[in-house]
Structure 1
């Protein structure tokens, strides 16, 4: 049963960094949430109003607390377990849509900060789509370039650039067909994962009418295009990429059971990334019109989406923390620490780590050019702290990376507020 908790003025409900999976609803009084801004290192404060939730993201994401919660006056807050919150959330349609939109907006704001620090120039939708197509063409991913050019022509048939875009499409199509002829006959299987909870939820025959299949390299949604659908992956994997100042950057690979495209639906904005099939892919496609009906009518789906936002917000903040580190040796060290968090070892006493990454991969995480990244990693190599091979690297003592991060300026922005 939810429990009403009474706190005297100045009481700490929880500290930043705590493991605590309770979720709170403010009943009466006032609570102040304090954290540290990742970019500036300055304290940030937010007051919780009566009837509002706090502690949701860290509880649902199973992360450490991101802020300290302090009672400003004598306060009563109702503490819920995750299960109690899920029951309450599932039975309140207005709450479902409000929290999804709030979390979507938080994730969007982190994306904007990340683009700003990477000096990524924001384009209008038409210019941005063409930049995305060109980035695929320049990397000889002609099938993907064709898809983006086609999306442009369908959405903007009256554009003064339509003739030039048609010409570029024809050129990319010719090149894509030649590559397809070379690779024809090579089997590509679907990558399935039937154990995922969201897959079981949508395995009913009634959902089959929403199913769509995509060939390897096919662009499902393109960065900058309007968002009018979102997707659930049933089989295969989907690669997320972003065009940063004309260059294509890999962001993530999504697996069966994961959603994508939902942010643009929730906040009526353009797509923030391109999603393309990595191998053969089968997705369920839901349009904007039935999104709210689908979400509020399927509480399990809403909860899965809410938890996904919690994870993505945390992951994006963790990535942003790396980008604001001024000292480049500390920044590279924190990339290795992130990779260590992403790939936990069985024996924590073991100090050596092997990461299946290249210079290009580390450059992506660090927000640096491959040339600068290579120079910084070579400094570690010269001190025998890192060994670099063709497709992997070995960090000889992960604790030394932690010390480098702590002592060379990396510790300033540790607050995942």
Structure 2
């Protein structure tokens, strides 16, 4: 049962950094949330309005609290467990859509800030899509290049770069035909269904079904967003184009959504989604989204949890990118990798990461030349060992000390 609690003036329901699985709803009183701005290190204060939730992201995502909550005047608060929140969320259609839009907007804002720091915001959508197409071409993924070029020509038939796009398409098409004569594209997913999308295995949904072959681009970064997708079979690769280089973000499997952010906030696509294996998915229009979410609360809840994870992950990345000292940036990358892929032995200080120098450079937002120079400094001090396909950190505590020292110096 949800609990009703009274907090006196000066009370602190929780501190930043706490691990806490409670969700709160303010009934009356004045409550503020105090957090630290990632870029400036200064305090940021937001006031909670009566009827609003707080503590949702960290509770659902099982992450440390990002803010400290302070009661400025006597407050009445409803306190829920995660299970109680999920039950309330699932039964309230208005709440479902409101929270999905709020979290989607928060994630989009972080993407924009990261894009600004990395200088990857193009002049316009067509230029951005052309950069995506060119990155596929440069990596000899000619079929994918053709797909993106066709999307540009279809979406923006009067674009000022249409001739350049058409030329790239024709070149990629010829090269793809030559490659197709030598290479088979019959890769099939070996995944088996976990039942997460079983409610859509009905004849009524068959009219929404689309199939894609390996290497086929389903949606392109910077493309207008007018549809979203639910994977029925196969796997989808999420890709981000950073300064002409493709960065693999994630692998999506059966039962997972993609393309939903553009639907929620009417923005261009934030990533490219390419079929990694043969894929069958359901394609829904923007008009179907609200009906689908409110009619399938468990799917909406899964999407909300996904937003929580993505927001946390992107903020972690953003914290790295605002660090001025390049060596401290790299130290933070190794700390982040250790959080993402913890050692089987938690007492071990030695960590092995299946990444290359190029991977670390992408995470850190540094050029490969700068990254190699700074990594060589670590190697000289015997703090890391570099191999072709993996890197060993001798003592992760050293990386944490370097990161803390840089944070103090910067702020």
Give the TM-score normalised by structure 2: 0.95
Report the alpha carbon displacement of residue 387 of structure 1 after superposing the two structures with TM: 0.7
2:2 is matched with 2
Residue deviations 1:263-291, cap 9 Å, x none?
10001111111111123222222211211
Gaps of 5+ in 1: none
Partner in structure 1 of residue 128 of structure 2: 128
Alignment partner, residue 84 of structure 2: 84
Change (3 A) 1:33 1:160: closer
**What does residue 145 of structure 1 align with?**
145
User: Do the aligned residues in 2 keep the contact of 1:234 with 1:283 (CA within 8 Å)?
Assistant: yes
- Aligned to 2:119, what secondary structure does the other structure show? coil
* 2:407 alignment partner, one of 381, 406, 409: 409
Contact conserved, 2:317 with 2:363, CA < 8 A, in 1?
A: yes
State the 1:307 CA deviation: 0.6
Distance in 2, Cα, partners of 1:322 & 1:164:
36
Query: Paired residue for 1:179?
Result: 179
Equivalence for 2:363: 365
Residue in 1 aligned with 2:296? 298
SS at match of 2:230: strand
Does structure 2 retain, via aligned residues, the 8 Å contact 1:327–1:410? no
Measure how far apart 1:131 and its partner are.
Answer: 2.1
Deviations 1:198-238 (A, max 9, x none): 33443445434333222121111011111011112233322
Q: Is structure 2 residue 202 aligned with structure 1 residue 213?
A: no
SS of the residue aligned with 1:284? strand
2:242 corresponds in structure 1 to 244
Distance in 1 (alpha carbons) for counterparts of 2:167 and 2:410: 51
**Does the 8 Å contact 2:103/2:308 carry over to 1?**
yes
Whole-Å Cα distance in 1 between the matches of residues 188 and 168 of structure 2?
Answer: 31
In 1, are the aligned partners of 2:324 and 2:410 still within 8 Å (CA)? no
Q: Does the Cα contact within 8 Å between 1:221 and 1:274 map onto a contact in 2?
A: yes
Structure 2: distance between partners of 1:176 and 1:246: 20
Cα distance in 2 for residues equivalent to 1:279 and 1:54:
40
Q: Is the 8 A contact 1:29 1:75 kept in 2?
A: yes
In 1, Cα distance between the equivalents of 2:392 and 2:253? 27
Does structure 1 retain, via aligned residues, the 8 Å contact 2:2–2:80?
Answer: yes
Q: What is the distance in 2 between the residues matched to 1:174 and 1:222?
A: 21
Alpha carbons of structure 1 residues 205 and 346: separation in structure 2 relative to 1, 3 Å:
farther
Q: CA RMSD in A?
A: 1.8
1:189 counterpart = 2:188: yes
Q: Which residue of 2 aligns with 1:308?
A: 306
Instruction: Indicate yes or no: 2:342 matched with 1:344.
Output: yes
Structure 2 segments unaligned to the other structure (5+ residues): none
Q: CA deviation digits over 1:227-250, x for unaligned, max 9?
A: 011112233322222223333333
Report if aligned partners of 1:143, 1:172 keep a CA contact under 8 Å in 2: yes
Question: Paired residue for 2:395, among 379, 385, 397?
Answer: 397
Cα distance in 2 for partners of 1:410, 1:260 equals 39
- Contact 2:356–2:390 (CA<8 Å) still a contact in 1? yes
1:113-172 Cα shifts (integer Å, max 9, x gaps): 101111223331222222221221122211111000111122223445444433321221
Mapped pair 1:44 → 2:44: yes
Match of 1:323 in 2: 321
TM-score normalised per structure 1: 0.94
Q: Give the counterpart of 2:372 among 370, 374, 377.
A: 374
Larger CA deviation: 200-209 vs 1-10 = 200-209
Cα deviations by residue, 1:20-65 (Å, 9 ceiling, x for unpaired): 1111110010111001111110101100000000000001111111
Q: Aligned pair 1:20/2:20, yes or no?
A: yes
Q: 1:9 to 1:160 in 2, by over 3 A?
A: closer
Q: Secondary structure at the match of 2:191?
A: coil
Distance 1:381 1:204 in 2: 57
Distance change >3 Å, CA 181–CA 299, structure 1 → 2: same
- 1:72 is matched with 72
1:386 aligns with 384
Question: Following the alignment from structure 2 to structure 1, what is the Cα–Cα distance between the partners of residues 383 and 309?
Answer: 31
How many angstroms does 1:403 deviate by? Answer: 1.4
Separation of aligned partners in 1, 2:102 and 2:111: 14
